[in-house]
């Protein structure tokens, strides 16, 4: 989570300082992909918490 926040902070600052949507379109795409990946990871972690694996 800390790495995500650092990465997003850096990307947001780059987008803010460049201030040209045509030049920062790829950076915005990375933000969307990272957010989707973090969301999927969160869902997997919550599912393991709710339904833990059976002990053998």
pTM: 0.75
Task: Give the domain extent around 11.
Answer: 2-50
Query: Environment class of residue 43 by beta-carbon count within 10 Å: exposed (0-12), middle (13-18) or buried (19+)?
Result: exposed
Does 30 reside within a domain? yes
Does 9 reside within a domain? yes
Round to whole Å and give the CA distance between 46 and 48. 5
Round to whole Å and give the CA distance between 56 and 27. 45
Does 56 reside within a domain? no
Reading the chain (56 residues) residue by residue, the pLDDT tens digits are 899 999 999 999 999 999 998 999 999 999 999 999 999 999 999 999 999 888 87
What pLDDT is attached to residue 21? 87
Are residues 25 and 5 in contact, defined by beta-carbon separation less than 8 angstroms?
A: no
Are residues 23 and 13 in contact, defined by beta-carbon separation less than 8 angstroms?
A: no
Does 55 reside within a domain? no
Does 32 reside within a domain? yes
What pLDDT is attached to residue 53? 84
What pLDDT is attached to residue 54? 81
What pLDDT is attached to residue 50? 94
């Amino acid at each position: 989570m800390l790495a995500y926040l650092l990465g997003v902070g850096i990307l947001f600052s780059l987008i803010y300082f460049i201030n040209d949507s045509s030049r920062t379109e790829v950076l915005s795409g990375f933000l969307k992909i990272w957010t989707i990946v973090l969301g999927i990871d969160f869902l997997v972690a919550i599912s393991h918490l709710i339904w833990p694996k059976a002990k053998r």
